[in-house]
Amino acid sequence: MEPSDPKPRRIEDGFFLALLLIISAAFALIIEPFFLAILWGVIAAILFQPVYHMILRSMPEWRSTAAGLTLLLIISVVIVPALLLTVALIQEASVFYARFQSGEISFAMLFGQLRAAMPEWSEAWLERFGLNDWGGAQERLREGVTSSLQIIAGHAVTIGQGAFSMLIALSVMLYLTFFLLRDGEALAERVIQKTPLRAGPRRELLRQFVLVIRATVKGSIIVAVVQGLVGGVVFWLLGVEGALLWGVIMGFFSLLPAVGTGFVWVPVAIYLFATGAVVEAFILVFCGIFVIGLIDNLLRPILVGRDTRMPDYLVLITTLGGLQLFGFSGLVIGPVIAALFIAIWNIVAGMRGADEGQLPVTDPIDAPEANAPPPAQREKAAAGRAPRQTRKRAERPQGG
C-alpha cells in the first residue's frame, strides 16, 4: 500500500537523483581518458555514414561486413596518410631545429639580404611609421620560429613515449567507429528517446550537432588539407626549403578565418622579391591569389552545400579557444560547442515565443530559412489563392 505522506516519496526521489548524479559523474571519470578517441570515433561515423549506406545497398544482409569495409576505407584514406604525414613533419622540423641551433640557418643573414635588396625610399617609409627596428623584429621572429620548432620536435619524444597509449586510443576509436557505423542510427534514436527534453528541442540539438560536425570537418579541415597540400607543392616546385613544413603551417592558418594562408606565402613572396628571385615571387603571388586563395570558395560550397556556417569571428574565437583547451581536437570541439550554444538559445527563445503567443525566432545560422517571406505575407498569398482554387472546383463537371 502506498504511503499517504508524500515526505518519504520526496526523500526517495531525492536519494535516487543524487545516486543518478554520482553514477553519471563516475561514468564520466571512467571514460574521460578516452574522450578524444570517442569524439573522433563519432566524427568518423558521422562523416562516413553515407559511404557505409552505399556499400550496404550492394549487400543488404551483411551489415557487419559493410561496416568493416567502411572501416578499412577510413584506415587507408585517413589514418595511414595522417600517421605518415606526422612522422615526416616531425623529422623535417627536427632537421630545421638542428640547423637553427648550429647556425647554418641565420636570421641575421636573411634580414641582411632583405634589407640590402630594399630600395632607399622604403627605408624612410618604414622609419616614418616606426617599423625600422630590424634587430627587434629579427629577435622576435627567431624566438617565435625556434619555440615553434621546439614544440614540433618535442612531439617526437612525446609520441615515442606515449606510443602505447596512442595505439590504445586509436584502437578504441576504430572499434567504436565500427559499431557506430553499423548501429549508429538505432543508437541515436534511443538516445533521443531517453534524453529528458521535449521531442522538438532534443531532435533539433541532435540535428545541429550532426550538421556542425559535417560542416566543420568537410568545410574547414578538408579545405585546409587541400590548401596546405597545394601550397606545399607550389613551394617545392619553386625550390623553397622545408616545403612540407610550410605546407602544414599554411593548412593550419587556413583554419583561421581572419588569418588565412596569406600569413605564410606573403612573407615568402616578399623575401623572394627582395633577394632577386622575381620570377619565383610572381609565380608564388599568382598561385597564392588565384589557386590557393580560391580553393576555399570553390571547394566549400561543393563539400558543405547548404550546411550551417557560423560567422567568421565566432569560428575564429571558438577555434583558438578549442585549440588552447583541447589541442588539435579543439578545431572541431570549439565550433561544435559554439553551434550547440547558438542552437539551444534559439530553442529557448522559440519556446518562450510560443508560450507568449509569438512567432518562433528564426535561427540566424539557417541562411536559407532567413530569406523566406514573413508569415503574414504567406497567409495573405494563401488567402488570395483560395478563391481561385474554389472556383476551379466549382467549374468541374459533376459526376463521372
Comparing CA positions, the residue from 208, 189, 187, 209 lying closest to residue 199 is 189
Q: How far apart are CA 227 and CA 45, in angstroms?
A: 25
If one counts every other C-beta atom within 10 angstroms of the C-beta of residue 261, the result is 25
- Over the stretch 125-144, which tens digit does the pLDDT of each residue have? 566 555 555 556 556 666 66
**Cell 569571428 identifies what position?**
313
Q: What are the residue ranges of helices labelled H in the chain?
A: 6-31, 35-58, 63-74, 80-102, 107-117, 120-128, 134-161, 163-194, 199-216, 222-237, 243-254, 262-274, 278-287, 293-304, 312-326, 330-355, 367-370, 375-395
Q: How far apart are CA 177 and CA 181, in angstroms?
A: 6
DSSP state of 327: G
Comparing CA positions, the residue from 344, 46, 279, 298 lying closest to residue 177 is 46
pLDDT at 340: 80
What pTM was computed for the model?
0.68
If DSSP states are collapsed to H, E and C, what string results for 349-388?
Answer: HHHHHHHCCCCCCCCCCCHHHHCCCCHHHHHHHHHHHHHH
- Over the stretch 222-276, which tens digit does the pLDDT of each residue have? 888 899 999 999 999 998 888 888 888 888 888 776 678 888 888 888 888 877 7
If one counts every other C-beta atom within 10 angstroms of the C-beta of residue 36, the result is 18
Cell of 249: 603551417
Comparing CA positions, the residue from 274, 252, 272 lying closest to residue 263 is 252
Confirm if 107 and 141 have CB atoms less than 8 A apart: yes
Q: How far apart are CA 375 and CA 383, in angstroms?
A: 12
Per-residue pLDDT of the chain (400 residues; tens, 9 = 90+): 455 566 677 888 888 889 989 998 999 999 988 888 998 999 899 889 999 999 999 988 899 999 999 999 999 999 998 888 888 887 777 777 777 677 666 656 666 666 666 666 566 656 655 555 555 655 666 666 666 655 555 555 555 556 677 888 889 999 999 999 999 888 888 877 777 777 777 777 777 778 778 777 777 788 888 999 999 999 999 988 888 888 888 888 887 766 788 888 888 888 888 777 889 889 999 998 888 888 877 877 777 655 556 777 787 788 888 888 887 788 788 888 887 888 788 777 877 766 665 544 444 444 344 344 444 444 444 444 444 444 444 444 444 3
